[in-house]
């Protein structure tokens, strides 16, 4: 499987980009889990990190990134620049996490 590099920067050094492919995106929609909500509510009373939600969001981010990279790969790109994340509520207990950026083809680097 071809590697797709991802960058949050908007531009790479001149000459690195051979071709701009276009916007790519990947999303994950997740619903909260009743068991996690109960634990989170209890943890909210005493304070501290809500590990259940931290894990849920981390899994959602990875899934969104994987889907974005797969779309870039399907267009023949080998990198995505300007990667950003956004979230939105799609239902009372469900949220979408969206990863997006610009797919590009980087020039092959000559081996040292």
What does the mean pLDDT of the chain come to? 85
In a domain, 80, yes or no: yes
Q: 53 in a domain, yes or no?
A: no
Instruction: Tell which residue, 108, 109, 110, 106, has the closest CA to residue 18.
Output: 106
Alpha carbon distances (Å) from 112 to 4, 50, 101, 109: 21, 47, 30, 9
Checking if the pLDDT of 74 tops 60, the result is yes
Q: What is the pTM of this model?
A: 0.81
> Has residue 52 been placed in a domain?
no
28-70 tens-digit pLDDT: 998 866 555 555 565 566 667 777 778 888 999 999 999 999 9
pLDDT at 110: 65
Domain count, the chain: 1
First to last CA, the chain: 24
Q: Is residue 49 part of a domain?
A: no
44 lies in a domain? no
Residue 93 inside a domain? The answer is yes
CATH number of the domain encompassing residue 71: 3.30.110.70
Structure tokens belonging to residue 95 = 């949220």
What does DSSP assign to residue 75? T
Range of the domain at 14: 5-32+60-106
Residue 41 resides in a domain: no
Does any domain span residue 45?
no
């Amino acid at each position: 499987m071809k590697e797709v590099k991802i960058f949050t920067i908007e531009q790479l050094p001149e000459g690195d980009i051979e071709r701009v492919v276009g916007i790519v995106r990947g999303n994950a929609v997740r619903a909260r889990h009743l068991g996690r909500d109960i634990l989170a509510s209890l943890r909210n009373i005493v304070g501290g990190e809500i590990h259940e939600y931290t894990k849920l969001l981390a899994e959602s981010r990875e899934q969104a990134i994987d889907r974005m990279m797969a779309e870039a790969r399907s267009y023949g790109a080998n990198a995505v620049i300007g990667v950003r994340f956004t979230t939105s509520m799609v239902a009372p207990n469900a949220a979408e996490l969206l990863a997006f950026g610009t797919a590009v083809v980087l020039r092959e680097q000559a081996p040292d």
